[in-house]
Amino acid sequence: MKSSLRNMVLSLGCVSIAVAGLLAAVNSLTADRIALNASMAETEAVATVMPRFANNPMADTLTVDGCRIYPGRVDGRLTGAAVLVTTNEGFSGPLTIMVGFDAEGGLTDYSILESTETPGLGDKAAEWFRDPEGRHSVIGSRDELTVTKDGGNIDGITAATITSRAFLGAVNRARAAFLKFSKQDNTAS
Confidence class of residue 135 from pLDDT cuts 50, 70 and 90?
Answer: confident
Residue 15 has pLDDT above 90, yes or no: no
Residue 164: Cβ within 10 Å count? 29
Asked if 81 and 111 count as a contact pair (C-beta separation under 8 A), the reply is no
Least confident of 19-23, 76-80, 103-107, 155-159: 19-23
Mean pLDDT score of the chain: 84
pTM of the model: 0.78
> What do you get for the CA distance between the two ends of the chain, in Å?
81
pLDDT by residue (tens digit) across 37-48?
Answer: 566 667 787 888
pLDDT by residue (tens digit) across 143-166?
Answer: 999 898 898 888 888 777 888 899
pLDDT by residue (tens digit) across 61-91?
Answer: 999 999 999 999 999 999 999 999 999 887 7
Asked if 155 and 86 count as a contact pair (C-beta separation under 8 A), the reply is no
Nearest residue to 160 via CA among 127, 114, 134: 127
